[in-house]
Structure 1
Amino acid sequence: MEFLIYSLPEEIIREEMLGNYSTALRLIEDFLRKDLPSLHRGRLLYEKERIERLLEDYPFDEREAYEKLKETFENFSEEEFHHLLENGAFDYIVVDGKRKFERRFHHNLVFAKPEYEKRLKKKDEKREKARKILHERLRRLINGENPKKYRVRARITLKLKKTTSKNRVWLPFPKEDLQVESVKLLRASHRTFYIAPNDVPQRTIYFEGKENTYFVEFEYIIREWVNRVEPEKVSETGVVGEFLREEPPHIVFSPKLRWLTEEIVGKETNPYLKAKKIYDWITFNVRYSYVKPYALYENITDFVANNLKGDCGFQALLFITMCRIAGVPARWQSGWYINPLFASPHDWALFYIEPYGWLPADLSFGGARREREDFRSFYFGNLDGFRMVANDDFMKDFDPKPRFFRNDPTDNQMGEAESDEGRLPFESFIEVLSFEEV
């Protein structure tokens, strides 16, 4: 997606900012009639799809948004709605002169204003129980208990909202590396499939068929990743150069990020302590927030630096970019957060120091626990075992490569689907079949 280095023509930007998306689409067509460089043409073609997906992601008008908030929070009033609206608490865009609200705007209110969590009508008891399990395990690890290994069995199912004569489907499949071993396929929805080699950065199992349902069941063993780093033993390294470079459009060493990194790192020369300063700054200053689909952002790290908010992947990308600017190799790791009760998509980062090698950093898990310094600090250099790892790099092609823009061209946690005509809409869900200590 190198074409994202091109900015849109100013008249298209103006119409989008005014909410005149039909006019913007007409102007895009006018530009496409010109003799354009390939990247410029690609940017404009992508903008057509981006507008379609943007409008899909903002489905609620003001009345519907207010009703969503009333359904979600106790004693929510219309006066309160307008007060929050005037104070920038909601994510909305203007379409044809009317506000349209992002599909998860009401859930985001809890992250923006934590006092609203107490007013939720429906408490997620399963998630609360899982959080207690995690915190108890963190406490034991911090107090010196030996790390454990877990054997995990899980299933992910993708259901197409419409089918064609030839559907192509990719589902995430675990990678053996670092903390993961003994990956096994248990069952699949189709007799014929293709599992990408383990060294493919974003590993998948691939199906072709006419049906609307596709699934895979697998197992793997994962270890809790606990390290005892002595900073005085850390040395400079000239290796892992691949993970020191820019990767536009999201990992870009802009003057702003160079300046921010230099201000945070200061005169520190120890690579481990450089990464620690960056981790500390992000976990203390960037709040968690749901975001739009990643495909809608032109530069994710720039967004996080400007807005001081973002989800797990946004925070991980900012850490990776700033580490690379500071001369510390850093890379992506993602898949699921999975425990005995449930699983959900999750992203985090890795950074490299000699003589310890790759170490994990989970920015969003650390930042969410900034009131517990022992837990916050744990997620710099250590990682719990409640994970499924399918990806070890960002914005990389599948094997086999899709023909059209992916639903998420950056990561793969819930799968992808397409036909001969284009991207197919779908829904995915994960089931935890078993989670046991080895």
Structure 2
Amino acid sequence: MLLKDLKYLKVNLPEDVLKMKMNGNFTDAIKLINLRLNKQIPVAMRKRLELEKEIINTIKNEYTYTFDEALKKCQDNIKDFTKEELIFLQEDSQADWILIDGQVKFNDSFYGSLLVTRADLNERLIEQKESRNERAEYLDANIKDMKENKEASYYIHLKTSLKIKGECARTGEKIKVHMPLPANCQQKNIKIIKTTPAAKFISDEDHPSRTAYFETVLQENMEFSVEYSYESHLKYNEPDTEKVSVQQPAFDTNEFEPQIMFTPYIKELANEIIGDETNPLIKARKIYDYITQNIKYSYMRTYSTIINIPEYCALNLKGDCGVQALLFITLCRYTGIPAKWQSGLAVTPYHVGPHDWAQFYVEPYGWLFADPSFGGGGYRNGNTDKWDFYFANLDPFRMVANSELQHEFDPPKQYFRHDPYDNQVGECEYEDRAIRREEFRVNFELIEMKKIS
């Protein structure tokens, strides 16, 4: 399945397949899909059904908690948690669930998502964790520093490791692995220190989805790793709406199937948010404010299982960093503001993990940043400095591997990617099939981080 085939996600499923899927009857849905694939059908429908098989095979493994198991998970960890609370969280779309064979099943990440988004539940944890959020304080200190010094520069040394889980490791067989690497953007002096085993190919620094590519015979307990360093340099932006140029560019304002689509609802929402405003900087801030004030942060199922990510976010008023960034990009593009994707890792001494955000372009300032996820966290916590900062600015604690959405690797991956839109943790495949996300582990290690004077 090639990345160019993703455009067929915009094709509707046949009614009988859709009925089976929505009821969680995945076995019969696959059966109906296979019956159609064995017939003479249009190319667009064939591609859509092939994509749906991938989606179903991914999604059915992500919802494992029955209602009773989910209730027990909460009651074992949250003081005085009731059945009625779980029902409310389910009905209010705060606890992600689907139907499987007519039975409610909760996503593997539902509990962690609740703890991230609900301070009241955190306060009722039976085993209280350290309340002092050192990571948040670290980011707040950077905001203050960047405002005072008008810039920030850091040296960052990281290592990422990937290992196939024991029961999934087919030792003695050829394996291909793509692991993200820092790209040339706000990052400079990039050095690939070591790859283990030796990478067969490392893509160019300017590649929109940069990776180290491994191709070898899998050995017992084999670990793939990339170790690299780079400098992150960022200026503090203070764009003035009064100084915005009359003439604005039109690049990066197009649709990009299947995710950046100007659907009827996206158009209506954008028009309601923007109103009669014509200044692009104010329009972008209106979009940012809408998302940060109205979209609840939530862990998400695998992106490849969501047919239209920005519309999902707009309709359900929830989403994680990438989902919020895609809604921002889509609304900006529809309203004539150039916007694009960036992603990779968020890196501090207290946490290293995948993260996505956006860029938007306004003359005479050029490309500016927007991180609705971090900004929304500031808004919810009453931290207006943080809320304002992440519109037009970004902290330097990032590893940027991807500058475009849905871009092919170099060399390309043969089988369907577990995340065809992004690449933060890596992708693997054997000669005969892709290796699914749940079949391998990834570890991030910050070796050194220091401020550059």
| TM-score (structure 1 length as normaliser) | 0.94
Gaps in structure 1 of 5+ consecutive residues: none
Tell me the secondary structure at the aligned position of residue 14 of structure 1.
helix
How big is the shift at 1:44? 0.6
What is the aligned length?
435
How far apart are residue 126 of structure 1 and its match? 9.8
Contact 2:90–2:96 (CA<8 Å) still a contact in 1?
no
Q: Deviations over 1:174-193 (max 9, x none)?
A: 0111x211110111111242
Instruction: Report whether the alignment pairs 1:31 with 2:36.
Output: yes
Q: 2:38 and 2:416 mapped to 1: Cα distance? A: 22
| CA distance, structure 2, for counterparts of residue 317 and residue 41 of structure 1 | 27
1:150 aligns with 2:154: yes
156 and 274 in structure 1: CA distance in 2 versus 1, 3 angstrom threshold: same
Partner of 1:61: 66
Match of 1:396 among 384, 407, 427: 407
Letter in 2 for 1:262: N
State the match for 1:160 in structure 2: 164
What percentage of aligned pairs have identical amino acids? 39
Q: Is the 8 A contact 2:342 2:403 kept in 1?
A: yes
Asked if structure 2 preserves the Cα contact closer than 8 Å seen for 1:313 and 1:346, the reply is yes
Alignment partner, residue 3 of structure 2: none
Q: Which residue of 2 aligns with 1:171?
A: 179
Q: Of residues 385, 403, 417 in structure 1, which corresponds to 2:428?
A: 417
The CA distance in 2 between the partners of 1:132 and 1:205, in whole Å, is: 34
Q: CA deviation at 1:102?
A: 0.3
- Cα deviation for residue 84 of structure 1 reads 4.4
2:447 paired residue among 422, 428, 433 = 433
Distance 1:127 1:249, change over 3 A: farther
Mapping for residues 225-374 of structure 1, pairs under 5 Å: 225-237=235-247, 239=249, 241=251, 243-370=252-379, 371-374=382-385
Q: Deviation at 1:153?
A: 0.3
Which whole-Å deviations, capped at 9, do the CAs of 1:54-78 have from their partners, x for residues lacking one? 1110112233222322343234345
Aligned to 1:4: 9
Partner of 1:96: 101
Q: Tell me by how many angstroms 1:237 deviates.
A: 4.3
Q: 1:77 to 1:6 in 2, by over 3 A?
A: same
Q: CA deviation at 1:127?
A: 8.4
Q: Residue 197 of structure 1: which of 204, 226, 247 is its match?
A: 204
How far residue 329 of structure 1 moved from its aligned partner, in angstroms, is 0.3
Q: Which residue of 2 aligns with 1:183?
A: 190
* Aligned amino acid, residue 160 of structure 2: I
Question: Mean Cα displacement is larger for which, 111-120 or 295-304?
Answer: 111-120
Judged with a 3 Å threshold, the aligned counterparts in structure 2 of structure 1 residues 57 and 127 are, in CA distance, closer, same or farther, namely farther
Q: Give distance in 1, aligned partners of 2:247 and 2:125.
A: 50
Q: Secondary structure at the match of 1:408?
A: coil
Q: CA offset at residue 342 of structure 1?
A: 2.2
| CA 1:236–1:407: 2 relative to 1, 3 Å | farther
Give the letter for the 1:166 counterpart: K
Distance 2:127 2:368 in 1: 37
Alpha-carbon distance in 2 for matches of 1:395, 1:123: 40
Paired with 2:294 and 2:310, the residues of 1 have a C-alpha distance of 14
Offset of residue 83 of structure 1 = 5.5
C-alpha contact 1:235 1:270 (8 A) present in aligned 2:
no
User: Does the 8 Å contact 1:5/1:249 carry over to 2?
Assistant: yes
Distance 1:121 1:175, change over 3 A: farther
2-side partners of 1:44 and 1:67: how far apart? 37
Q: Deviations over 1:352-409 (max 9, x none)?
A: 1111111101111111111222210111111111111000111111111111110111
- Select 2:135's aligned residue among 124, 130, 137: 130
RMSD: 1.9
SS at match of 2:416: coil
Matched residue, 1:213: 223
Q: Secondary structure at the match of 2:111?
A: helix
Separation (CA, whole Å) in 2 of partners of 1:124 and 1:150: 30
Distance 1:124 1:251 in 2: 40
Range that drifts further, 157-166 or 68-77: 68-77
* Other structure's SS at 1:216 match: strand
* 8 Å contact kept, 1:111–1:287: no
Counterparts in 2 of 1:81 and 1:352: CA distance versus 1, 3 Å: closer
Q: Which has the larger displacement, 127-136 or 48-57? A: 127-136
- State how far apart, in whole Å, the 2-side matches of 1:434 and 1:312 are: 25
User: Helix, strand or coil for the counterpart of 1:199?
Assistant: coil
Residues 271, 353 of structure 1: 8 Å contact kept? yes
Counterpart AA for 1:140: D
In structure 1, C-alpha distance between the alignment counterparts of 2:97 and 2:235, rounded to whole Å: 40
Distance 1:169 1:126 in 2: 39
CA–CA distance in structure 2, aligned partners of residues 62 and 114 of structure 1? 23
Give the whole-Å Cα distance in 2 for the aligned partners of 1:80 and 1:147.
Answer: 46
The alignment's TM-score, normalised by the length of structure 2, stands at 0.91
8 Å contact kept, 2:250–2:336: no
Output the CA distance in 2 between the equivalents of 1:274 and 1:150: 32
Secondary structure class of the residue paired with 2:404: coil
Secondary structure at the residue paired with 1:60? strand
Q: Could you tell me how far apart the structure 2 residues matched to 1:146 and 1:276 are?
A: 21
Q: Which amino acid aligns with 2:198?
A: R
Which whole-Å CA distance do the structure 2 matches of 1:291 and 1:356 have between them? 33
